[in-house]
Amino acid sequence: MKLSIVSCVLLGLSTTLTPVQAQNFQEKTASITPYAGAADTVSVLDFGAKGDGVTDDTAAFQAALDSFGNKGGIVYAPRGTYLFAGQLNIPQAVTLKGMFESVPAHNGIRDRGLPKPGDDGTAFLITADRGNEQGKPFLTLNTNSTFRGVVMYWPEQDPEKVPEAYPWGVAMRGKNPAILDVEMLNPYNAIDASKNERALIRNLSGQPLRRGIYVDGIYDIGRVENVHWNPWWSMKPELLRWQKENGEAFIFERTDWHYVLNTFCYGYHVGYKFGSSKAGACNGNFLGIGADACHTAVLVEQSAPMGLLITNGEFVAMNGEDPTMVVVSDSNTGNVRFVNCAYWGPCRQIAKISGQGLIGFSDCIFMQWDSKQEGRHAIQVNSGSVAVRGSDFWEKGKRHIFIGENARRAIISENTMKGDVSIENHAQNVYIEGNLGN
């Protein structure tokens, strides 16, 4: 393959230029423009936005967003602190973009969220519909529209107190809406990712107080990637207690083939909640997910027959009256498979299983259950079916598995246990083989 002189220079390859070639190369490179797509970009400042943290910039932003008509383009919000007393709608194929190219992180914003303009990059201060959880979302994404590179902050929330209710911070609608590289520092409800197709949520951080991400009514493969919910904004006792009693970090109802990768939450009542709506239940692929310091790390009220595939998860339950890693409710009829997952923290139990579905644990690690020394088993099967294979139970002298008389089927094989094997079986259709203690 023959490379041009320009290609050789760009690739760092050695070449000798004649004087004429050198002059031609300089002329060509000098004509390259660094921002060829500038015609597709407008600044909110040109539409009257102030970014001073005092002036309501809602109308200016919406005018900039609407300026492209149905053609699409980029609305840029440069460094500034923008106050919003209303809502924004991002039209089809329009991107609203702040200055951040990667998600930022704060350990709180000083003076309860009234930073000096420009101190925190592109920062949105949101005040609309305080106390009205059923109000219109602050920002709505539509088909092929994108929101990225911004810090979102609700300055009227008090980090010392039970939080005020607010509507969703972002609603994702249409086809291919995307939210990327955004910090949602302290939303009451963060993202409503329902009634859309192929929604993309990537590189988010923050501390949602009541709900993090809600997924429902997605029939064509949504994605949630690199989302980190952590109490950076406030760990004050009253607020954090309320969050641990009421907060739900990730909620999944009807969605087909959802892909969830590298997500984490800390300090919620439920880390990952799987339920059902009128549209149905969830099936999907969950890889590298984690929940720390929750009351229940994973709650399955319902799953689709084709199942929830949860791999390389890390789960810690240690709060509330009865902290349990995995709870499968009586209502569940679908399949759930945990593969290569680890469970630890001072919980009461690893798993309580009911319903009519099949719950599987393969190549997992179980630690620190029965924190109050009550004689609880790590895994309690009340009904439904269970398969526990190739897993390691790390607590010596504690009980491992209980199979109640209403269990439909159980396979318990090739597990290793510290101390003597302790499997209590009251069911009929059970296979127990090859479990080793020491």
Q: Whose CA is closest to 200, among 221, 222, 169? A: 222
Tokens of 307: 């199942």
8 A C-beta contact, residue 220 and residue 197: yes
Q: Would you write out the chain's pLDDT as a tens digit for each of its 438 residues?
A: 443 433 343 334 444 556 555 555 454 444 444 444 567 999 999 999 999 999 999 999 999 999 998 899 999 999 999 999 999 999 999 999 999 999 887 765 544 444 454 567 999 999 999 999 999 999 999 999 999 999 999 999 999 999 999 999 999 999 999 999 999 999 999 999 999 999 999 999 999 999 999 999 998 899 999 999 999 899 999 999 999 999 999 999 999 999 999 999 999 999 999 999 999 999 999 999 999 999 999 999 999 999 999 999 999 999 889 999 999 999 999 999 999 999 999 999 999 999 999 999 999 999 999 999 999 999 999 999 999 999 999 999 999 999 999 999 999 999 999 999 999 999 999 999 999 998
- Sequence letter at residue 393: F
φ/ψ of residue 373, rounded to 5: 55, 50
Q: What is the pLDDT of residue 16?
A: 52
Residues facing residue 299 across a β-bridge: 273, 327
In angstroms, the CA 210 to CA 191 distance is 11
For the question of whether the overall pTM of this predicted structure is more than 0.85, the answer is: yes
Our CA angle for 101, 107, 112, nearest 5°, is 105
8 A C-beta contact, residue 342 and residue 316: no
| CA–CA distances in Å: residue 355 to residues 20, 30, 383, 415, 438 | 80, 70, 6, 24, 33
3-state secondary structure of 151: strand
Q: What is the pLDDT of residue 32?
A: 41
Domains of the chain as residue ranges with CATH: 1-34 (no CATH), 41-437 (2.160.20.10)
Handedness of CA 230, 234, 235, 238 (dihedral sign): negative
Tokens of 97: 């973009």
Residue partners of 10: CB distance under 8 A and separation at least 6: none
Q: What is the pLDDT of residue 29?
A: 44
Q: DSSP class of residue 4?
A: P
Q: Whose CA is closest to 337, among 365, 312, 359? A: 359
Helix (H) or strand (E) run with residue 65 in it: helix 58-66
Q: What is the pLDDT of residue 106?
A: 73
Q: For residue range 197-220, what is the model confidence (pLDDT) as tens digits?
A: 999 999 999 999 999 999 999 988
